[in-house]
Amino acid sequence: MGVLRLQLPTDPRWVNIVEKNIEEILTDHAWCEQKAATNAITIITNNPEHQDLVKDLLALVKEEVDHFEQVHNIIIKRGLKLGRERKDEYVNELYQYMKRSGDGSRVSGLVERLLFSAMIEARSCERFKVLSENIQDEELAVFYRELMESEAGHYTTFITYARKYGVGIDVEKRWREWLAFEESIITNYGKNETIHG
């Protein structure tokens, strides 16, 4: 999986599950975008002294909210309804790993949050690629191709800042540990019509 370095690819047959319930995947996707924006705002709130980080994450927040709106517009156009927010077990497992992993310092906390964010963006990017290449719906194939490129940019942003501000931390080693952890849990997913499910 090239630049993303994910250890286990998504089985393309996951798209067959997705296609049986487009309303569900779109609802889940919309809330994923909202949560991504909220996560970036949390990082800004906790690290306002890093002006470049704040600036780039503000741009990222705007993009995530724009993606939320785009998904919502597709839902409306198709006569579907945006359901209530879904619980994301995959993200929750990553979150628990992040909470266990920091050493309590602000630097460690920032690096872990950035790697947590990068991990979600990497897998989302990979899932969007699988959707774009395998879904029969032409509009959604094009849509997910465009979003895949955006998610790749977000992944790069988070990784870059983890390396920049991870003073005294072997960020490359930590990222390898994150990748190994993600590989250990992703085998439980790819069975539902949700972005990470």
pLDDT in tens, 56-107: 999 999 999 999 999 999 999 999 999 999 889 999 999 999 999 888 899 9
Mean per-residue pLDDT of the chain: 95
The Cα 35–Cα 99 span in angstroms is 18
Q: Is the pLDDT of residue 1 over 60?
A: no
Coil, helix or strand for 25? helix
- Does residue 131 contact residue 144 with C-beta atoms inside 8 Å? yes
pTM above 0.75, yes or no: yes
Q: At 180, which helix (H) or strand (E)?
A: helix 171-186
Residue 35 or 103, more confident? 35
Q: Give alpha helix (H) positions in 102-137.
A: 106-134
- Considering Cα of 27, then 33, then 36, then 41, what sign does the dihedral take? negative
Q: Sorting pLDDT into bands at 50, 70 and 90, what band is 197? A: confident
CA distances for 19 relative to 83, 91, 158, 188, angstroms: 17, 22, 31, 20
At 2 the pLDDT is 66
**Residues written for the chain:** 197
Cβ 66 vs Cβ 37: under 8 Å: no
CA distance 17 to 97: 28
Q: What is d(CA 27, CA 194) in angstroms, rounded to the nearest whole number? A: 8
> Domain 16-187 is classified in which CATH homologous superfamily?
Ferritin, core subunit, four-helix bundle (1.20.1260.10)
- The Cα–Cα gap between 17 and 86 comes to 17
CB 19 within 8 A of CB 194: no
